Amino acid sequence: MSASLLEVAGVSKTYGEGGSAVRAIAGIDFTVEEGEFVSVVGPSGCGKTTLLKCISGLLAPSGGVSRLRRAPVTEPPAEMALVFQDYARSLFPWLTVERNVALPLRGREDVPDRPAAVRQALEAVGLARFARHYPWQISGGMQQRVAIARALAYQPRILLMDEPFASVDAQTRADLEDLVLRVRERFGMTVLLVTHDIDESVYMADRVVVLSRPPSVVQETHAIDLPSPRDQVATKELPEFAHLRARIYLAIKGAQAAGERRPALASQGGETA
């Protein structure tokens, strides 16, 4: 059995100390294979963002480890790129779109033709015309596309996305979802997407990981064998889509209900669900 690209092993995170400690995640285990698209969903407040930060090395986990190609992740590795929810803050307003995309490449000796990489990335997201614009001169959806272009140009092995489409309107969201799928097809990337949107998680992924209420663990995993390429209309009309969606919805609802029945345990950091 070949090693997975990304291995999350027993990752847990507790905030604070002593009596006021809050256990956000309590031991998450899953893997992401090369070329897979995995999405992570869960009830609100289940620590999805915390999990992503621990996986990417932005936050040190309290327990467990995440490994990229078998190497433990202690700080953001060079083979990993991130797209954040808050595009306005993750892009640098004093740099043009072009320079924003090019900035992370400055330290990368292994990328042969950096200007070409930048151009290619901008073309892939459809923003070649806006290279000299500033982020605040373009719309929110376009800014998020710049963030995606920046991740692309970085030529990572795996792309991590933290609720990337939560801050844009529904129509733009659909466009961006398709963009990510197209780009992933073209560049053969591995993607880990964290989202609260169930439809999105099913539409985009090969596999969906459902988290429980905090202290969160992996509650269920569902393989998504919907046909590729996905389409906003055709795929969502399939009965299979509706079934998968319903099962995940119920799983999350169940997790929420369980959490409501036993709220005390959740905050004590005691037994997991």
> Interface residues with other proteins (CB under 8 A)?
17, 53, 56, 58, 75-76, 78, 80-82, 84, 86, 89-95, 103-104, 106-107, 134, 136-137, 150, 154
In the complex, least distance from residue 136 CB atom to other proteins, rounded to whole angstroms: 5
Shortest distance (Å) from residue 89 CB to other proteins: 4
Smallest CA-to-CA distance from 179 within 225, 123, 259, 132 is with: 123
Distance CA(101)–CA(59), nearest Å, equals 24
Nearer to other proteins, 100 or 195 (CB): 100
Q: How far is the CB of 85 from other proteins (least distance, A)?
A: 8
Please report how many Cα atoms fall inside a 13 Å half-sphere around the Cα of residue 247, on the Cβ side: 15
Least spacing, CB of residue 8 vs other proteins, in Å: 18
Task: Tell me the C-alpha to C-alpha distance, in Å, between residue 94 and each of 98, 129, 160, 189, 231.
Answer: 11, 19, 25, 30, 37
Nearest distance from C-beta of residue 98 to other proteins, angstroms: 13
Please say which residue, 15 or 238, places its beta carbon nearer to other proteins.
15
Which of 59, 155, 143 minimizes the C-alpha distance to 107? Answer: 155
Cβ of residue 163: shortest distance to other proteins, in angstroms?
Answer: 12
Residue with Cβ nearer other proteins (133 or 236): 133
* Nearest to other proteins of 130, 154 (CB atom): 154
Please say which residue, 23 or 230, places its beta carbon nearer to other proteins.
23
Dihedral angle at the C-alpha atoms of 263, 267, 268, 270, nearest 10 degrees?
70
Query: Which CB sits closer to other proteins, 78 or 265?
Result: 78
Bond from prior residue into 229 cis (ω within 30 degrees of 0): yes
Q: Is the peptide bond before 215 cis (omega within 30 degrees of 0)?
A: yes
With beta carbons less than 8 A apart as the criterion, state whether 146 and 97 touch: yes
Asked if residue 194 lies in contact with residue 52, where contact means CB atoms within 8 angstroms, the answer is yes
Q: State the nearest-atom distance from the C-beta of 153 to other proteins, in Å.
A: 10
Indicate the residue among 63 and 254 with the shorter CB distance to other proteins: 63
Burial class (CB in 10 A: 0-12, 13-18, 19+), 20: exposed
